[in-house]
Structure 1
Amino acid sequence: MKKRLKALLDNKVITEDIFNKLNEVLVFIDDKFTRAISKEKGEMFLTHLAMALVRVNDNEPIVEVDESIESQVIGDSNYLKADELASEIEDICKVEFTKEEKIFIVIHLCNLLL
């Protein structure tokens, strides 16, 4: 997963600041999850989080989330844990995601918790 982050930085998709925040999140995730996360799921989550942080930096938030997606996420058995993790990630990154952005982050965290 660190290679993915380095590639995003080297290709100027993310800034050095976002790269550092994502590395902190990576340490946090490693500490929180007792079982190994698949490379594919981990990279998908980190890539989405990277782009969410870019959108926050550029003040270009996601405009809308389909209500059916939101309902599915809230109904997921891992929703509460994923939402708590997303809030901790906001603290680590020193950002506040929009409701819509946070829903997508929670979706990826629910996927990691499976």
Structure 2
Amino acid sequence: MKELFERLEILKSTDAITENAQIICHKTIDAYVSQTEAANYQMLITHLAMAVTRMERNEPLNAPPPSIMKEIYNSPNLEEAQRRVKWIEIECRITIPREEKEFLYMHFVAALTA
């Protein structure tokens, strides 16, 4: 997990992500990532930090390709991925647009499948 926190610190120190994005990622790591699973969550945490930053900076959002989402929506881990994204919204008092939710579903499904 140390690597995840270090990555966030680097992104924050270069102004690639906002302070709020860093805080949200820390909460998510604390809630869902164990030391043995940290490597599985690198893409998710990086994407979450960048997604929150894009939302806060009103930058354009893009959804993942429909072909990938078709596979994600058929995953047995989808329900858990959706539950975790909902937790992020509630816990961090943010509303995540559909485009970013889909990317987060994709990354959570990948992490849960690994």
Identify whether the pair has TM-score above 0.5, normalized to the shorter chain.
yes
Amino-acid identity (%): 27
CA separation in 2, counterparts of 1:83 and 1:3?
Answer: 27
Report the aligned-residue RMSD.
1.8
User: What is the one-letter code of the residue matched to 1:109?
Assistant: F
1:36 equivalent in alignment to 2:39? no
Are residue 72 (structure 1) and residue 75 (structure 2) matched?
A: no
- 1:26-61 deviation digits (Å, cap 9, x = unpaired): 11113xx6x83142x322111000111011101224
- Equivalent residue number for residue 82 of structure 1: 81
Look up the match of 2:111: 112
**SS of the residue 1:76 aligns to:** coil
The number of aligned residues is 110
Note the residue ranges of structure 2 that are not aligned, 5 or more in a row.
none
Q: Which one is further off, 54-63 or 4-13?
A: 54-63
For residue 15 of structure 2, what is the aligned residue in structure 1? 12
Aligned equivalents of 1:61, 1:85: Cα separation in 2: 24
Contact map agreement 1:52 1:101 (CA 8 A) in 2:
yes
Shift of the 64–21 alpha-carbon distance from structure 1 to 2, 3 Å rule, reads closer
TM-score where L is the length of structure 2:
0.85
Question: How far apart are the structure 2 equivalents of 1:2 and 1:58?
Answer: 22
State yes or no: 1:62 paired with 2:61: yes
- TM-score, length of structure 1 as denominator length: 0.85
Query: Would you say the 8 A contact 2:81–2:109 is kept in 1?
Result: yes
Cα gap change, 1:74 to 1:112, in 2 (>3 Å):
same
Structure 1: where are the runs of 5+ without partners?
Answer: none
Indicate the residue corresponding to 2:98 in structure 1. Answer: 99
